[in-house]
A and B are shown apart, each in its own frame.
Chain A
Amino acid sequence: AAGVIQSPRHLIKEKRETATLKCYPIPRHDTVYWYQQGPGQDPQFLISFYEKMQSDKGSIPDRFSAQQFSDYHSELNMSSLELGDSALYFCASSLDIYGYTFGSGTRLTVV
Chain B
Amino acid sequence: DAKTTQPPSMDCAEGRAANLPCNHSTISGNEYVYWYRQIHSQGPQYIIHGLKNNETNEMASLIITEDRKSSTLILPHATLRDTAVYYCIVKKGGIQGAQKLVFGQGTRLTINP
Task: Identify the A interface with B (CB < 8 A).
Answer: 4, 30-31, 33, 35, 42-45, 48, 50-51, 55-56, 58, 88, 90, 92, 94, 96-105, 107
**B98 x A100 contact (CB < 8 A):** no
- 15 additional A-B residue pairs with CB within 8 Å, beyond A48-B97, A90-B43: A30-B96, A30-B97, A31-B96, A33-B100, A35-B103, A42-B85, A42-B87, A44-B103, A56-B100, A58-B100, A92-B44, A97-B96, A98-B49, A104-B43, A105-B42
Q: List 9 A-B contacts (CB under 8 A).
A: A31-B97, A42-B87, A42-B106, A56-B98, A94-B99, A96-B96, A97-B91, A97-B93, A105-B42
Q: For the complex, give the distance between the alpha carbons of A101 and B46 in Å.
A: 7
B residues near A97, Cβ cutoff 8 Å: 32, 91, 93-94, 96, 99
User: Which of A56, A98, A105 is most buried by chain B, counting CB atoms within 10 A of its CB?
Assistant: A98
Contact indicator A48/B100 (Cβ below 8 Å):
yes
Q: Which A residues lie within 8 Å of B98 (CB)?
A: 48, 50, 55-56
A58 to B101, CA, bound (A): 11
| A contacts with B: majority SS | strand
Q: Are A92 and B43 in contact (CB under 8 A)?
A: yes
On chain B, the residues within 8 Å of A88 by CB distance are 41
* A102 in contact with B97 (CB, 8 Å): no
The residues in B between 57 and 113 inclusive whose CB is less than 8 angstroms from any CB of A are: 85, 87, 91, 93-94, 96-106
Q: How far is the CB of A58 from chain B (nearest CB, A)?
A: 7
B45 at the interface (CB under 8 A from A): yes
Contacts A97-B93, A97-B94 given; does A45 touch B100 at CB 8 Å:
yes
CB proximity of B100 to chain A, nearest CB, Å = 5
Cβ-defined partner of A102 (8 Å) among B43, B99, B102, B104? B43
